């Protein structure tokens, strides 16, 4: 056992638990910094300003990274994406809102809890781990949550899902493989639910080990039973954060962020930006053998999130947010220590391929709504796989960050811009009722009040009039844990 100062302190000379103050460090600023929360909270009957729709019944689940322990000094510059998953939920029913948050009890969280210190080194770099954790899952479950076949699944794209109790957020299974159907080591944070069949279609990349170019595809039915499984080879190993599913096809757009074993051996993060590779759009017919995937090259683009996707016969359309530069500059340029300079927000990009055109040798792409700059594209989740009309984005408007809704039919857009000093997180669409038309309902999400010590509110705005501002504001007495993504589950599919 080494000197305790080597293991807990990111600040030389510090002997206890203390996160470093320096910017761009893991947990920078600690308890005062905003990026560290660590409070597992419960509030029965939150304060509500305004009127919650009386028939609104469901739970808004969300998850994000929350550092459990500071890293030792040599890893103190690790990135935020490596924080332990901390899930939270707002149960809304009969005009009442109950809030709860819990760290996900991942294998990693439990090992660190027992040791009372950080044991996992840099982001997705097992070469930097404490030898005592060899063989444990590195997954943090910090990226997204989905509810399917009665299970609340928490995702991190480097590991299999973790199952949580949808009522209490207690961890039920820290390594869920869909009953053995998932054969590889990873599962995406962005599966899709087919609105027609209820199937959950997902994939894992780097599925056969660190830096592998193998992708596993798995579809399970509404009972969680596998109904399609296949393997795909990528043109090059890379980050595949999201994908697209239509009624006929699945599609992957490669991101030029590549797993970099040299960087990992040197104790760095998992990915480097490689500007020598193009992006490829790979399209595979659903149910087909992965060997039959067709790859179409095109300009290098970094597209992180799918807004919507559909097929018309042999033509597939995929809408994603993305930019022509590295949007994650904390992943440096390959062979260099420095990041790419251009930290540009994304635009909505439509990718189109006609599979009937046997001469097609590249994907077509165009920018939609050129004046909308943003990230974290979403849609009415009931329209995954189908032609769709409305998209949502966390956009950067004239007055700062805002929620923007775009109408692909009319070309119109509408905006909810919170007051100055208020920073919205990603939003989630809530249908007004089970059978409400597409896009008719509410946007729900956290707004952080910077002038009130980072206090958090959950805001509900009506999609019929976003500019009118919140219908209801669920007011919390404190800052709550941050998030990457959130997911709405209607009450009738939740246990009582």
- Distance linking the first and last C-alpha atoms of the chain: 48
Give the CB-nearest residue to ligand V55: 81
Residues 286-315 that bind ligand V55 (CB under 6 A): 304
Residue 475 Cβ vs ligand V55, minimum distance, rounded to whole Å: 27
Residues 6 or more apart from 134 whose CB is under 8 A from it? none
d(CA 234, CA 269): 21
Residues 6 or more apart from 111 whose CB is under 8 A from it? 119, 132, 133, 136
Binding mask 241-280 for ligand V55 (x = CB under 6 A): x---------------------------------------
d(CA 109, CA 123): 15
Residue 388 Cβ vs ligand V55, minimum distance, rounded to whole Å: 22
Q: Please tell me what DSSP assigns to residue 72.
A: P
Query: How would DSSP label each residue in 392-461?
Result: EEEEEETTEEEEEEEETTT--EEEE-PPTTEEE---EEEESSTTPPTT-EEEEEEEEEGGGTTEEEEEEE
* Helix, strand, coil percent content, the chain, rounded in steps of 5: 10, 40, 50
Binding mask 50-69 for ligand V55 (x = CB under 6 A): ---------------x----
Residue 259 Cβ vs ligand V55, minimum distance, rounded to whole Å: 12
Residues 31-50 that bind ligand V55 (CB under 6 A): none
Nearer to ligand V55, 63 or 316 (CB): 63
Give burial (CB, 10 Å; 0-12/13-18/19+) of 132: exposed
Residue 205 Cβ vs ligand V55, minimum distance, rounded to whole Å: 11
Query: How would DSSP label each residue in 105-140?
Result: --HHHHHHHHHTS----STT-GGGS-GGGTTS----
Q: How many residues bind ligand V55 (CB under 6 A)?
A: 8
Nearer to ligand V55, 307 or 472 (CB): 307
Nearer to ligand V55, 143 or 379 (CB): 143
* Among the listed residues 28, 112, 143, 327, the single contact to ligand V55 using CB under 6 A: 143
What phi-psi label fits residue 165: left (phi over 0), alpha (psi between -120 and 50 degrees) or beta? beta
Nearer to ligand V55, 129 or 462 (CB): 129
Report if residue 425 touches ligand V55, rule: CB under 6 A. Answer: no
Nearer to ligand V55, 65 or 441 (CB): 65
Nearer to ligand V55, 271 or 488 (CB): 271
Are 487 and 42 in contact by the 8 Å Cβ rule? The answer is no
Residue 356 Cβ vs ligand V55, minimum distance, rounded to whole Å: 34
Nearer to ligand V55, 142 or 248 (CB): 142
d(CA 111, CA 255): 33
Nearer to ligand V55, 108 or 241 (CB): 241
Residue 157 Cβ vs ligand V55, minimum distance, rounded to whole Å: 6
Backbone φ and ψ of 464, nearest 5°: -75, -20
Nearer to ligand V55, 238 or 466 (CB): 238
Residue 35 Cβ vs ligand V55, minimum distance, rounded to whole Å: 12
Residue 55 Cβ vs ligand V55, minimum distance, rounded to whole Å: 33
Are 269 and 285 in contact by the 8 Å Cβ rule? The answer is no
Identify the H or E element spanning 20: none
Identify the H or E element spanning 264: helix 261-265
Report if residue 142 touches ligand V55, rule: CB under 6 A. Answer: yes
Binding mask 76-115 for ligand V55 (x = CB under 6 A): -----x----------------------------------
Are 270 and 261 in contact by the 8 Å Cβ rule? The answer is no
Report if residue 470 touches ligand V55, rule: CB under 6 A. Answer: no
Are 108 and 84 in contact by the 8 Å Cβ rule? The answer is yes
The closest of 429, 341, 434 to 392, measured between CA atoms, is: 429
Residue 62 Cβ vs ligand V55, minimum distance, rounded to whole Å: 12
Report if residue 484 touches ligand V55, rule: CB under 6 A. Answer: yes
Residue 252 Cβ vs ligand V55, minimum distance, rounded to whole Å: 15
Q: Strands 214-220, 249-253: parallel, antiparallel or unpaired by DSSP?
A: unpaired
Nearer to ligand V55, 157 or 199 (CB): 157
Nearer to ligand V55, 92 or 237 (CB): 237
Give burial (CB, 10 Å; 0-12/13-18/19+) of 346: buried
Nearer to ligand V55, 48 or 261 (CB): 261
Q: Which residues bind ligand V55 (CB under 6 A)?
A: 65, 81, 142-143, 157, 241, 304, 484
């Amino acid at each position: 056992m080494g000197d305790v100062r080597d293991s807990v302190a990111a600040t030389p000379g510090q002997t206890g638990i203390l996160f470093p103050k320096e910017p761009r460090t893991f947990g920078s600023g600690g308890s005062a910094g905003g990026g560290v929360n660590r409070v597992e909270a419960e509030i029965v009957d939150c304060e509500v300003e305004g009127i919650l729709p009386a028939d609104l019944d469901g739970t808004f689940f969300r998850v994000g990274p929350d550092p459990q322990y500071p890293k030792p000094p040599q890893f103190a510059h690790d990135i935020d994406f490596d924080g332990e998953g901390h899930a939270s939920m707002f149960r809304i029913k009969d005009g009442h809102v109950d809030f709860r948050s819990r760290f996900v009890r991942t294998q990693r969280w439990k090992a660190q809890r027992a040791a009372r210190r950080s044991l996992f080194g840099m982001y997705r770099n097992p070469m930097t781990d404490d030898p005592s954790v060899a063989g444990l899952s590195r997954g943090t479950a910090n990226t997204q949550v989905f509810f399917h076949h009665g299970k609340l699944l928490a995702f991190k794209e480097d590991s299999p899902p973790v199952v949580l109790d949808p009522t209490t957020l207690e961890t039920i299974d820290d390594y869920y493989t869909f009953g053995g159907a998932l054969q590889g080591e990873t599962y995406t944070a962005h599966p899709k639910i087919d609105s027609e069949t209820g199937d959950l279609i997902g994939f894992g990349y780097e599925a056969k080990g660190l830096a592998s170019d193998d992708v596993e595809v798995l579809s399970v039915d509404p009972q969680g039973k596998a109904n399609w499984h296949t393997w795909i080879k990528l043109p090059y190993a890379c980050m595949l954060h999201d994908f697209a599913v239509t009624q006929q096809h699945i599609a992957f757009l490669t991101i030029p962020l590549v797993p970099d074993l040299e960087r990992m051996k040197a104790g760095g993060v998992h990915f480097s930006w490689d500007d020598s590779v193009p992006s490829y759009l790979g399209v595979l017919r659903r149910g087909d053998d992965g060997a039959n995937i067709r790859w179409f090259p095109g300009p290098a683009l970094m597209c992180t999130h799918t807004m919507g996707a559909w097929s018309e016969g042999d033509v597939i359309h995929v809408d994603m947010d993305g930019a022509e530069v590295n949007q994650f500059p904390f992943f440096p340029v390959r062979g260099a220590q420095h990041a790419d300079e251009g930290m540009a927000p994304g635009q909505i990009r439509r990718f189109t391929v006609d599979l009937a055109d046997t001469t097609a040798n590249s994907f077509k792409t165009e920018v939609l709504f050129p004046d909308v700059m943003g990230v974290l594209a979403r849609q009415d989740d009931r329209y995954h796989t189908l032609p769709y009309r409305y998209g949502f984005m966390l956009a950067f408007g004239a007055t700062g960050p805002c929620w923007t809704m775009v109408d692909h039919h009319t070309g119109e857009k509408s905006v909810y811009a919170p007051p100055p000093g208020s920073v919205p997180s990603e939003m989630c669409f809530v249908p007004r009722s089970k059978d409400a038309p597409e896009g008719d309902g509410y946007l729900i999400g956290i707004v952080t009040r910077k002038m009130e010590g980072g206090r958090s509110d959950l805001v509900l705005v009506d999609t019929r009039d976003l500019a009118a501002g919140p219908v209801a504001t669920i007011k919390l007495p404190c800052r709550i844990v941050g998030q990457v993504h959130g997911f709405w589950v209607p009450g009738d599919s939740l246990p009582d």
